[in-house]
Structure 1
Amino acid sequence: MIPVGYVRASSLGAIPPMLAGDGHRLLGGGTNLVDLMRKGVERPSLLIDVTALPATIEEAADGGLVIGAAARNSAVAAHPLVRVRYPILSRAILSGASAQIRNMATVAGNLMQRTRCVYFNDVAGSRCNKRAPGSGCDAIGGFNRYHAILGASSACIATHPSDMCVALAALDARIRVDGPGGARTIPIGEFHRLPGDTPEIETALAPGEVIVAVEVPASPFAGRSTYRKVRDRASFAFALVSVAAGLTLDKERIADIRIAFGGVAPKPWRALQAEALLRGGPATSAAFEAAAAAELAHAEPLAGNAFKRELAKRSLSAILAELAGVSR
């Protein structure tokens, strides 16, 4: 048994100094960290309980939302403002894990969960550059059905597991953080990092920084938005492909649109090329299919996940047709 210390942070200001020690980890709901501790992947020397951080869900002055770092996933999904104004976010959260885990998991913990695969979890028998930098990646030549086809590198091909973060990417959310260098805000598109040569560095957080809240801006398209997750079983399964999308129409043309993919990259993948092709154009099945094909044209599938390219294209085309109310 490996000994581990525990301390409860009484305030935000108390947390950064506590993080200075080697092996010190933040503990919210513990749904990811404790699981990795059981597997021997994470071996912290001190757990810092941060459930005293804000858990409020409040309307912002601009009509958006401010969601506290310690808010539980289930509370966010059920909140009236989220359900009415941001159905994309509510549906994404409800697609994740199980009700029991959603009741425990926090918003900050969801943002910070490790990008991982079965080889990352296999401490005893597999090489993983994310777990042990420079050791190699057994997933590349192994079982890679669930792995990335966009944004991966020769060092890591794992996909980001979050559903919530895919919706937040489509919503252009911003992450409020605080730490030794003061408070700052990080756009969600810059918060999670692609692996490159350093897959062990997964976020843009500086040492000692802590997530305080998530800002979700007011979005005219958010009311016409949704989330679809394609997976091997109905619950407690990561996405093979997921799509978060929202749009606004001006008669039969697309006035504005936002699209993000999950299950295909090491971070929530914003489909900027597809958005640019569709914005201002006709809301037709042909246009949706062409945009989806363009976004996936540079995908680099592996032996076990080549199906993901077509699955992503069909999923995106179907969800956009549904939102636009056009037949396929």
Structure 2
Amino acid sequence: MTGPTADSIPTPPCCGVSGRCGGATRSSFPATGACGGPGNACSGIESPRFGSAAAVRERPSRPPGTGREAGVGASGGRWVRLTGLRGGRTMEPVLLDSIPFRVDPEDLKKKLRVKEGSGMAGQLEDLLREAGKIARPKACYRVAFIDSRGEDQVVIEGVRFTSRVLRVNLDQAFRTFPFVATCGPEMEEWSRSVDGIVEQFWAEEIKVRAVRGAVGFLQEYLTDRYNPGPLSRMNPGSLPDWPLSEQKPLFSLLGNGPAAIGVQLNDSFLMTPVKSVSGIWFPAESKYENCQLCNRENCPGRRAPFDPGLMERKYRLLGSYPSAPG
């Protein structure tokens, strides 16, 4: 039986938006981003600018005991939505598996310090074309509502997270968007076949740009579909206050979504493919950046200056500011 189209999925009445969420249409990505997150270096993600998020395909996996809805959106893209129960609520991780792979060759050469017109420039362009043939960046997310808040904890859809910074950042929120984005297992496998130390280094940078695109695409997609207002995000492991071990409840909240896009979590709470990012998007009128609470000097991915008084002033936490991992 044919399922509903993506545009016909009902919005929860508590979302605060009349009718279907995400009525706005945007044609380009905002130049924003966030820390690369847990175990996968703080890579300074910056969203690329390419096309409308309306062209994406949605597709969830189907773990045991869940139902499945499928359909074709107005743009022709296929979506599948997983449904199941967790704590008496409907669980709906959504997979985006047709995210465009767009890398500016000139910007890539500049980043890798490859001189235009040189033999190495031609080799890099060939490698980028090769990557483009197999690249399939992906993301999964779900809409998750906050159940309760404590002093340094927040419970989202029955899953408890421990972090004073996260708790304060979610103080005015009622709806969040937990997610995982990845360069994709296809690119991970491809990069292992690349010969040469220099070429392998280039391949790693190409994968970084693939996951940047996935994160940026997801941000724009959420903005268009759910109209949440300005979005910020936090990543487990990005700050000592929210350690890498918080990956476990985050993956629990996302159900089988990460596995369905090829992302696995190991016993050390690191993800494979390594070029993957996890976290929670949340609406925030005042833009939050992990960098504001990280004292790592000379970080190439820094997007905001370190504010040494912010931790105590806003989050009422005292002590030193160990650098975020990565």
Is the TM-score greater than 0.5? Answer: no
Q: Higher relative CO (CA 8 A, sep ≥ 6), structure 1 or 2?
A: 2
Q: TM-score normalised to the size of structure 1?
A: 0.30
Q: TM-score normalised to the size of structure 2?
A: 0.30
